[in-house]
Amino acid sequence: MKVRVNPEVEKALQEKKPLIALESTIISHGMPYPQNVETAMKVESIIRAHGGVPATVGLVDGVGVVGLTPEEIEEMGKRGMSIPKVSRRDLPMILAEKSWGATTVATTMILASMAGVEFFVTGGIGGVHRGAETTFDVSADLEELGRTNVTVICAGAKAILDLPKTLEVLETKGVPVLGYQTEELPAFYTRTSGLKVDYAIKNAQDAANIVKAKRDLGLNGGILITNPIPEEYSMDPKEINKVIDEAIVEMDEKGIKGKQCTPFLLAKIAEITEGRSLAANIQLVFNNAAVGTEIAKEYSKL
C-alpha cells in the first residue's frame, strides 16, 4: 500500500524526534463541524507545545497519509460522516475506489507502523461489545494491538464496552496493559472501573523503558498505555453507566449493528448528558496528547 508521509513527519523520523500519530475518525465521526476541526488542531498544538511532532492519519484519494495537512483536516471535518470509517477490512475497497477515508484505531496503527511511527494517541480504543457472547461483536482494534508494533496512549477502552472481556482478549493477544500513575483501568469518562491493569507506571520514563524492552525483544504487537481522564472532567460512574444502558437499549431497538454502533452510542450519550460526555471526551484526548508526547520524548532519548 502506498503511504504518503508529510515532509515534517519525514524529517522528524530522520532526526528521531518524538512523533505522535493521531486518528481521523474522531474528526469525521466524533463531533460536528467546525468543532471537530478545532479539536483536531488543538490536539496537534498540544503535541507541539510539549516538544513533539503530530501526524494525523487518514486516507486521501485512495492514499494512506501520515501527517494530514491543515487543509486536509479541514476538508475531512467538513465532509464529516459522509467519509467512511476505515478499518483493516475496508482498506482494499477505499484504495481501489481512490476515495477518502477516516482511520479507526486499527487502521491508524497500520499506517503509523508502515511509516515508522511508534506512538499513537487517541481517546479510547474499541473492544468487546456488551452482549458479544451472542453477537460476537469484537472490535478489530484488539486484533491490531495483538499484531502491530505501535504503542497506544488512551483513556482506556470506551465505556460503552464490556471492559472485563476486553481485558481478557488483550491478555490472550499478549498486549501489555499499563496504567499511567494508576493501578486501575480507567473507563474513558471515569477514572476507575474496578479492574486492575497489568502494570502501573510512575512516569513517562518508565513507559518508554517498557516500550524499548518489548521492541528489543522482538516481540510483535502493540502496548496499551491507559491514562485516566483528569479528575475535574471525570463523570459520575453511576450516572454515565445508566446513560450508556439507555443508549444501548435504543440502539438495539433501532437495529443498529457493526461499526455504526460506536458513533451512535457516543452521539446518544452526548445528547442525554447535554454535551457533558463530549466535553469530557475532548478533555481526555487533550490530556492523552500531553502524556503521550512526554513518553515519546523519553523514548527518543533511549
**Using omega within 30 degrees of 0 as the cis cutoff, is the peptide bond preceding 54 cis?**
no
Q: Domains for the chain: give ranges and CATH numbers.
A: 1-117 (3.40.1790.10), 122-302 (3.40.1790.10)
CA–CA gap between residue 33 and residue 38 (Å, rounded): 8
User: What single-letter amino acid sits at 98?
Assistant: K
CA–CA gap between residue 36 and residue 52 (Å, rounded): 21
- Whether residue 99 is predicted with pLDDT greater than 80 in this model: the reply is yes
Report, as an integer, the average pLDDT of 238-259.
87
Please give the pLDDT value at position 158: 86
CA–CA gap between residue 177 and residue 23 (Å, rounded): 20
Element (H, E) at 153: strand 151-154
pLDDT in tens, 194-225: 999 999 999 999 999 999 999 999 999 999 99
Pick 132 or 260 by higher pLDDT: 132
CA–CA gap between residue 22 and residue 109 (Å, rounded): 9
State percent of the chain over pLDDT 90. 81
Please give the pLDDT value at position 266: 81
The residues that are catalytic are: 23, 158
CA–CA gap between residue 213 and residue 189 (Å, rounded): 31
* Segments in 4-148 forming alpha helices (H): 7-14, 25-28, 35-49, 70-79, 91-97, 105-115, 132-135, 140-147
Look up residue 37 and give its three cell numbers.
476541526
- Whether residue 257 is predicted with pLDDT greater than 90 in this model: the reply is no
pLDDT in tens, 130-181: 888 888 989 999 999 999 999 999 999 988 899 999 999 999 999 999 999 9
Please give the pLDDT value at position 125: 96
